[in-house]
Amino acid sequence: MDEEAVDQSQITVQDDTKTSSSPFEGSINYVWWLRMAIYTILVLVGQAIAVLLGRLYFDKGGHSKWIATLVQTSGFPILIPFLFIKFQIHSTSTPLTPPPPPPPQPAFAVKISLYVCLGILIASYCMLFSIGLAYLPVSTYSLISATQLGFNTFFSFFLNSQKITPFIVNSLILLTLSSVLLIFQPDTSTSNHVSRGKYIIGFLSTVGGSAGSALWLSMMQFSCRKILKKASFNVMIEMIVYQSLIATSVVTLGVFLSGEWKLFGKEIVEFEMGKVGYVMTLVFTALCWQLCVVGSVGLIFEVSSLFSNVIGTLGLPIIPVMAVFVFHDKMDGVKVVSLVLAVWGFVSYVYQHYIDDLKMKILGKRLVNDDHRVSLVERVD
């Protein structure tokens, strides 16, 4: 009779193994994959269209870098209604396993300080990006922006304990070389020819903006895990809205202090696409940047800041190709080599994540097998 019990327990364990819902094997969270797909599309589409519209603003008669910066941060009002909608998170607790107590929330002063710091950082790197986009062809601007991935790896190493491997180092070197290569051959294919001095300023500003954007992504992940200590859709929207409000306030103050608000009426009249085209260009640029921000923050909450930056880097090669058709930019030899190096660096980074994921799956299978062995021993006893 005991032998039959042992045999039946072995059958039960084998069946359990086949239907295991372990996160390492056999389980597919379709809702999670749907969210990932939506966030990825928001980043790729929002980033590409926003950059092209930003370049269009300068090409058609726009001159204000403060206005170009303002549209990058001022699209947050479309998210305000979501602050009043409470999304319920599916609970995995049972009557035998009550849900864990919620983590302690930071003080109000801590949250305000966090949003102020992040908002000022956003305003700073958006201004740098505006300067770069004003002085550089959109294809060159996009390729230089690929340095974000290297900067993000550096900041994540210190803020989020990111492991640095040979493949990641290789990615960092390739992305850096792809950007430095562009400074030796300025591109004059755009309608607004700039001096070499302005070209260098645009180059350095874009690199600085990439570093600031990478720091913001890493700080968002750090803030979520170490300060707010919780991740949900409502928390994500709250962070985006409040820090965007601070950034918009800072940029608006800059618009008035710089005196560029006085030129707003003249600019809208002289814009080549007309008044309606001017307004629509700014409005759609603001909306696309906000969609990109939502997608980026969503990927940070779902995976990590590095993964979010990988998706952003994945979309960068799309922009130079689109710029060839929209702005008739020339893809000369230097730019092609730079693009190849950027893609090579991206592939090297993705391969490292593939290796890490493969190791996690192997470790997960071992853990699942160990659990089944323990369960079998307990049942036999």
Least confident segment among 155-159, 263-267, 280-284, 356-360:
356-360
Residue 94: strand pairing partners: 97
In a domain, 24, yes or no: no
* Selected residue with higher pLDDT from 190 and 61: 61
The pLDDT confidence band at residue 371, using thresholds 50, 70 and 90, is: low
- Name the DSSP letter for residue 94: B
Collect all residues with Cβ–Cβ distance below 8 Å to 325 and sequence separation of at least 6: none
The predicted pLDDT at position 6 comes to: 42
In a domain, 211, yes or no: yes
Q: Summarize pLDDT for 122-140 with one digit per residue, the tens.
A: 999 999 999 998 888 877 8
The model's pTM is 0.75
Contact 67, 263 (CB under 8 A): no
What residue has token string 């202090």? Answer: 257
Q: What is the rounded distance in angstroms from the CA atom of residue 340 to the CA atom of residue 320?
A: 12
CA 272, 275, 280, 281 torsion: positive or negative? positive
The predicted pLDDT at position 57 comes to: 92
Q: How far is CA 220 from CA 20, 71, 160, 231, 311, in A?
A: 34, 21, 10, 11, 16
246 has a pLDDT exceeding 70: yes
197 has a pLDDT exceeding 50: yes
Contact 271, 60 (CB under 8 A): yes
Contact 243, 216 (CB under 8 A): no
287 has a pLDDT exceeding 80: yes
Counted domains in the chain: 1
In a domain, 97, yes or no: no
Q: What is the rounded distance in angstroms from the CA atom of residue 278 to the CA atom of residue 272?
A: 8
In a domain, 93, yes or no: no
205 has a pLDDT exceeding 90: yes
- Over its C-alpha atoms, the chain yields an Rg (Å, rounded) of 25
The predicted pLDDT at position 323 comes to: 72
Q: What is the rounded distance in angstroms from the CA atom of residue 262 to the CA atom of residue 128?
A: 22
Name the residue among 110, 310, 297 with its Cα closest to residue 220. 297
367 has a pLDDT exceeding 70: no
In a domain, 15, yes or no: no
Least confident segment among 184-198, 217-231, 236-250, 329-343:
184-198
In a domain, 11, yes or no: no
Q: What is the rounded distance in angstroms from the CA atom of residue 299 to the CA atom of residue 308?
A: 5
Structure tokens, 249: 């306030």
In a domain, 14, yes or no: no
What SS3 state is found at 70? helix
Domain limits at 182?
30-86+105-380
The pLDDT confidence band at residue 169, using thresholds 50, 70 and 90, is: confident
The pLDDT confidence band at residue 232, using thresholds 50, 70 and 90, is: confident
147 has a pLDDT exceeding 70: yes
How buried is residue 326: exposed, middle or buried, by Cβ count under 10 Å (0-12/13-18/19+)? middle
368 has a pLDDT exceeding 60: no
* Selected residue with higher pLDDT from 203 and 161: 203
Across the chain, mean pLDDT equals 77
Q: Summarize pLDDT for 97-107 with one digit per residue, the tens.
A: 455 566 677 78
In a domain, 347, yes or no: yes
Amino acid making up residue 69: T
* Selected residue with higher pLDDT from 86 and 81: 81
| Phi, psi angle pair for 315, to nearest 5° | -80, -15
